Structure 1
Amino acid sequence: MTKLGIEAKHLEPTRTVFHGIVSGLSCSPIGRIRLDVLFGTSDHFRHEPIWFEVVDLSSAYHALLGRPALAKFMAIPHYAYLKMKIPGPKGLITIVGDYRKSLECAQAGAKLAESLVIAEERRQLDRIVALASEQPAVPASAKE
């Protein structure tokens, strides 16, 4: 948000909740914002306004385009080739991905997910230990 010059006051409320970003955890966005997204070159491009849910979450990605955004652009993604094609005013626009960057993002995302799961497991364990320490000790004669 900071790099784009967006402040919290520019965000609109949202009731969206993301599930499955990290196994077993959910995330609520801090708001949403509509931004113009542009694909192509200066002489051959397409742009559309797209709604983005803004989350305060560490991630290997800066933005994710979901099915609504891809449908709005009438995009055809090919994940194996890291390419996406969209119709433009002068014919097809091809967006090409970077295999190295894709691998780096996947590895960083896996490390982040693992650290978040470990942190959540630690919180749960701390909660169980705290509950156990609050329980009064049972005298040995009461156990028999």
Structure 2
Amino acid sequence: MFHIEYITFLVADFDTAYHAILGRLALTKFMVVPHYSYLVLKMPAPRGVLSLQANLTVSYDCEKESLALVKAFDLSARMEAYLTESKKVPEEAQEIPMMEAPQKATKAKETKEVSLGLTDSTKTMRSGPT
């Protein structure tokens, strides 16, 4: 034995990880009790309570896919905003200024001899250009 109920719903053409989104009216019509923690929908049936259980792994994958879609749409919207703002900047302000090459360090022209030891004056070091 089975029971058929017809409901009217709208189909929206957009990317989502979910197959169906039931609103409060649909849940009320079928007297559904959702248990979000256990991913179970319970509703009365002619021979007791009908339980519809979801797969936790599939649900988690759908959630990850939804988050990836949201990030992609958000990034796309921000890129459009940046592109629109960049078109407002005049072309001469968009040029990248050329930097001058760094100057070479000047070298010392004379050699200095420095004593390394306090008591032995023969231990010295020569400092100067290479």
| 4+ long deviations beyond 4 Å | none
Q: Mark the structure with the bigger radius of gyration.
A: 2
Q: Which has the higher strand share?
A: 1
Partner of 1:69: 26
Partner of 2:90: 133
Once residues 110 and 93 of structure 1 are traced to their aligned partners in structure 2, the CA distance between those partners, rounded to angstroms, is: 31
Give the Å deviation of 1:133.
3.3
- Determine if the alignment matches structure 1 residue 122 to structure 2 residue 79: yes
How many aligned positions are there? 93
Q: Is the CA contact (8 Å cut-off) linking 1:44 and 1:90 kept in structure 2? A: no
TM-score, reference length from structure 1: 0.58
Q: Structure 1 unaligned segments of length 5 or more: list them.
A: 1-42, 138-144
Out of 15, 25, 49, the residue aligned to residue 58 of structure 1 is 15
Give the Å deviation of 1:132.
2.1
**Alignment RMSD (CA, Å):** 2.0
AA aligned to 2:7 is P
Partner of 2:42: 85
Q: Percent identity?
A: 30
TM-score, reference length from structure 2: 0.64
Q: Structure 2 unaligned segments of length 5 or more: list them.
A: 94-130
